[in-house]
Amino acid sequence: MTLPPAYLVGLGGALGAVLRFGVGRVMDPVAFPGGTLTVNVLGSFGLGLLTFSGAGTDTIYLLGTGVCGAFTTFSTFSFETVRLVEDGRRRDGVLYAGGTLLSALSAIWLAWFLVAR
């Protein structure tokens, strides 16, 4: 007996969102959007581990699409990038957008190195 995929993703997503909320509470008061950077890199690493380890379909739905998918966020990331540039911090905006991508891709490469090598 197993739940339909939509529920597995939803349940995982609820947990991922609450965890991201928790990280935001801890890391919010910094000038640079470090909370979002942290969740996006950690979550990309987690999804990389799951993807390369050949986890089963239900595990991918619950932990991958659900938890890691919802723990990370793109909408907050793009909003924060625009806000940095709006505040006249163009360089920080570029660093933030580029740094998130490079860090996330490096984390995924590390996950591949650890699991699939």
- Residue 1 as a binder of other proteins (CB under 8 A): the answer is no
Work out the end-to-end distance of the chain between its first and last CA atoms, rounded to an integer number of angstroms.
34
Kindly tell me which residue out of 3, 95, 101, 114 binds other proteins, with binding defined by CB under 8 A: 101
- Residue 33 as a binder of other proteins (CB under 8 A): the answer is no
Kindly tell me which residue out of 27, 55, 97, 115 binds other proteins, with binding defined by CB under 8 A: 97
Kindly tell me which residue out of 33, 71, 92, 96 binds other proteins, with binding defined by CB under 8 A: 71
- Residue 63 as a binder of other proteins (CB under 8 A): the answer is no
